[in-house]
Structure 1
Amino acid sequence: MQYRPGTVPGLTLMCVALVAVGGGIGLGWPHLLTQVITIAPDGQKDLASTSITTVQLYATAIGAALAGIVANLAGFSDPGGLAGAQQAALWVFAVFAIAPLLATLVARRVRL
């Protein structure tokens, strides 16, 4: 199904994708945080717990910068307009879909 702005199927598809992303983050983040605090040495558990927010903010900044770079390289400003935005959106989605795929491959090989 191709996304078409302003249509009910397009909006439904976008909502389902956003719920899936939010659900995945909601399911994974608490376990990741617990694992970080559990693995930290006894004297550094406070430092590990306070560093979680710093890492999250850093990752958000890097993600936003990467999205901007990909969007600009994909044509957001040249050709610009609706065609540029559509092309940039496709490329940003494609580039950001690679990271979870790579993480899945790594997670299958690494056992804690």
Structure 2
Amino acid sequence: MSSNMRINKKCQLCNREFIAKTTVTKFCGKDCAKIAYKAKKRAEKISSSTRKYASRVVDPKDRVQELQLREFLSVKDTALLLGCSSKTIYRLIEKGTINATNIGDRLTRIKRTEVDHIFYQQN
């Protein structure tokens, strides 16, 4: 079945006028259709990766509030909560200022009350 329709249209990519044989034709030829398809796919990839990245980004204020509610913290979380480096936390553990527990070989946990205790110590 062929159509005898002839519709004057403008290409959505290059704005050239052309004669379309169907009502759904958007582009003047194969080249414009390929370029538009690639641009559409590129935009989909960018929006997909942007959505993935946006879902991973957490506001530091929200993160600190979440940490304040936890009973046990990792060294990295404690460093974020106190606003220092994890190396400083390890030094405080070594000095005995903060009591920490090693779970296994690498997993160090600090009780939340220990972090609070640092600020309420009497000299």
TM-score between both structures, scaled by the size of structure 1: 0.29
- The structure with the largest strand share of the pair is 2
Q: Which has the larger radius of gyration?
A: 2
TM-score (norm 2): 0.27
> Comparing both structures, which one devotes a greater share of its residues to helix?
1
